[in-house]
Structure 1
Amino acid sequence: AFEINEMMANNEILIFPPAVSLLAAYKCEDRDPRVQLGIQNVHWEDQGAFTGEISAAMAANAGASYALVGHSERRQLFGETDEQVALKVAAVLRQDLVPVICVGETLKEREAGRVNEVILNQLDLALTSIPDPETRFLIAYEPVWAIGTGKTATPMDAAGAHGTLRNRLEQAIGATTAARTEILYGGSVQPSNATELLAAQDVDGVLIGGASVNPQSFGEITRAAG
């Protein structure tokens, strides 16, 4: 067991439950109000006939404050394009939600030496939906080859990608705003590697996948971030 106060001491904790559980999580009497909630995916239109989809407005009404946009599984399994990701960023911002913009390369792209090219193209298009440089958003670097595979980017790999993203942010929105924009690492984050990853340059936090299902693992990773 772990104490929420210990976890929250120096951390911001965001939980992205399944959409069908979002409202229940929001209304849960035991939820610490310091733990913020987010939606895993939204549609880019505010309204319309899109059977099975969830709008950003619906997510906000269900208690979301954040929204994942362009997660690697959305890109790889559902063919989500950079253009659609940009539209989703705009939709999220229209509802005053904070977008967590996910970028990352596949193994094939990595082996071809295209890491920077791929993640910068993804970021650049998403930034077209953020006209105000003071708008808050987060970035999550997710090397696709490390998602759910047990493989993890080395701290040097993570620092390199995060540094590339930070430099582009400085060019796009200015050094001051870029410095306070959190860039998270996501890709087989475990208690065994969290401390080392979080110590890497420009890694401001982690986007936890499978390990978040286990409360003990989640608590250990959160303590590592503190």
Structure 2
Amino acid sequence: MHPKRRPLIAGNWKMFKGGPAGLELAGACKELAPKVRGVDLVIAPPFTVLAAAAADLDGTTVGLAAQNLYPKDSGAFTGEISAPMLKECGCAWVIVGHSERRQYFGDTDALVADKVAAALSHDLLPIACVGETLAQREGGETLRVVKQQVEAFLDVIAQSKAAVAIAYEPVWAIGTGKTAGPAEAEEVHAAIRTWLSNKSAELAERTRILYGGSVKPDNAEGLLGCPNVDGALIGGASLDAGSFGAIAEAAQKLAQGK
């Protein structure tokens, strides 16, 4: 974690916590914010909760994210949602390119780049996800694969001055209980920082690189303590306010040098 970059802790609720359960969890996250000053908290509930959560979070420091968008502003795209619609719901952030979108819904690198561009064009901050499969890691392909994914949207984020985030999520660690060790995570995060720096020193400085993949309170401090890990994109642990808060507190402790 670098002292010049404010830690970002984001919770991706996936297809969990709709309705009253989602609003209850959003309320619990709102209560966390004053306890972790110096850390940016973002939550990504299901679409059905976004508008109500935005109203509840109004006036707080908790950011609201959507889990996906379609790169067109409007049109005959049944079942999709656009960046302007997400802004209407009160979103400030949007997750793009998550491995589950890539695996189950065919999101390609090119489509992810279009989604990043669409988000930025409507003042939504993207959390752009990258990561390798287990077969790619075992084949020594991790850096090649991740570099290809980053390069797909690199020009787009370089042309913007927005504080975008990139989330490195090794696919083999998502929801499996497995996680990359701090050294493995730092290797990829440092490589991403180098690729950003090759494009622009300013881009490398302002971009927060998050780690995702079975982040829990008991491994958060080790991962967040890596020099190029600026936060976390959390799945399962974000569904429990206590666990989510404990990870945010670990980030706060590290940011304060304690």
TM-score, with length taken from structure 2 = 0.83
Aligned partner of 2:150 in structure 1 is 123
Q: Does 1:214 align with 2:240?
A: yes
Whole-angstrom distance in 2 between the partners of 1:204 and 1:93? 21
Aligned partner of 1:88 in structure 2 is 115
Query: How much has 1:4 moved relative to structure 2?
Result: 3.1
Q: Does 1:197 align with 2:226?
A: no
Q: Deviations over 1:2-41 (max 9, x none)?
A: 753112x12001111111110000011x665200101100
Q: Is the 8 A contact 2:169 2:212 kept in 1?
A: yes
Q: 1:107 aligns with which of 134, 139, 146?
A: 134
Question: Residues 87 and 78 (structure 1 numbering): CA distance in 2 closer, same or farther, change over 3 Å?
Answer: same
Aligned partner of 2:203 in structure 1 is 177
Q: Does 1:55 align with 2:82?
A: yes
Whole-angstrom distance in 2 between the partners of 1:131 and 1:162? 18
Q: Deviations over 1:72-129 (max 9, x none)?
A: 1101111110011011111111111111110000001101101110011000011233
Unaligned runs of 5+ in 2: 1-27, 253-258
**Whose relative contact order is higher, 1 or 2, with alpha carbons under 8 Å and at least 6 apart?**
2
* Aligned residue identity for 2:178: K
TM-score, with length taken from structure 1 = 0.94
Q: Does 1:23 align with 2:51?
A: yes
Q: Does 1:155 align with 2:155?
A: no
Is the partner of 2:163 in helix, strand or coil?
A: coil
How many corresponding residue pairs?
223
Aligned partner of 1:11 in structure 2 is 39
Aligned partner of 1:188 in structure 2 is 214
Please provide the CA RMSD for this pair. 1.4
Query: How much has 1:131 moved relative to structure 2?
Result: 5.0
Query: How much has 1:130 moved relative to structure 2?
Result: 3.1
Is the partner of 1:99 in helix, strand or coil?
A: strand
Whole-angstrom distance in 2 between the partners of 1:96 and 1:136? 10
Q: Is the 8 A contact 1:133 1:177 kept in 2?
A: no
Percent of aligned positions that are identical: 49
Indicate the larger mover: 151-160 or 126-135: 126-135
Q: Deviations over 1:36-91 (max 9, x none)?
A: 10110000111110111000110011001011110111011111100110111111
